[in-house]
Every structure is written in structure tokens, then in C-alpha cells.
Amino acid sequence: MTEAHNLIFGEQLRILIDFYPNKNGQPDSITHIAEATDISVQTLLNLLDGTSASPRLDTARRICEFYGISLDYFDCETEAECRDYLVQQRVETASPIVHQIERETDELSQRGKHNILSLIEWVRRRNMR
């Protein structure tokens, strides 16, 4: 994926799946997502490969409920925007220590904040192993 084009729904969905690993540190399987959301495996595969360019609103809502995010996520136009949105969502639902770190980094540049949040995400993933 490149940043030169606006992402299609399937690309946004792939980023979402990859961003939220399961307890084993791996992305959830399409079968697991389908069972948890009551969306057919074929529908998810069609969305991921671009065969179906846009889902029904109910499908998008179920995906968002599964990942605990808002439909606003699908307004992101680039991979970087998607990842920044997901990192921000994680911070908003994070523990008090993460909120303290966020307050203490207010004077950093946007890039510096992004780097700190990425580091926190890396540590979180390492702790899941």
C-alpha cells in the first residue's frame, strides 16, 4: 500500500485486522471475525480483496463494534491516518499510566508524540507474547 492514493475499505479493514492482534500476537482469523460479527467469511474476503468495494452500513458497524472503534475510522484516507487513528483510540481507552505519559509529552512535536505512542504499542505487543 502506498500513501499516494485514498484507501479503499478493504485496505482499511486489513490495517484494522493487523493492528489488533489476538492473545497470541497474531491477527484474528477471518473465520473468527466472521463468527464474532455474524458477517459471512465470503463477505469479509470480498471486502478484503476489493471484490466488494464498500460494505453495507450494518456490516461496517459490526466490524467497528468488534474492534471497539467508531465508524469515523473509515473516513481515514491514508495508511498513516488509519494507524494514527487506531493509536489514538488505544490511548483514549488506555490505563492511567498511558494518560500520564500523554500529558507529559504535550510539548513534543506531533512526530515525537507519534514515536512515543508507537513505542508504547511495541511494548504492549511484546508483553502479549
pLDDT digits (tens, 9 = 90+) for 47-66: 999 999 889 999 999 999 99
Number of domains in the chain: 1
79 vs 122, more confident: 79
Q: Is 92 domain-assigned?
A: no
Domain enclosing residue 33, as ranges: 1-77
Q: Is 103 domain-assigned?
A: no
- CATH of residue 19's domain is 1.10.260.40
CB 47 within 8 A of CB 62: no
Q: Is 52 domain-assigned?
A: yes
For residue 91, is pLDDT > 90?
no
100 vs 20, more confident: 20
Q: Is 120 domain-assigned?
A: no
CA distances from 7 to 10, 40, 80 (A): 8, 23, 11
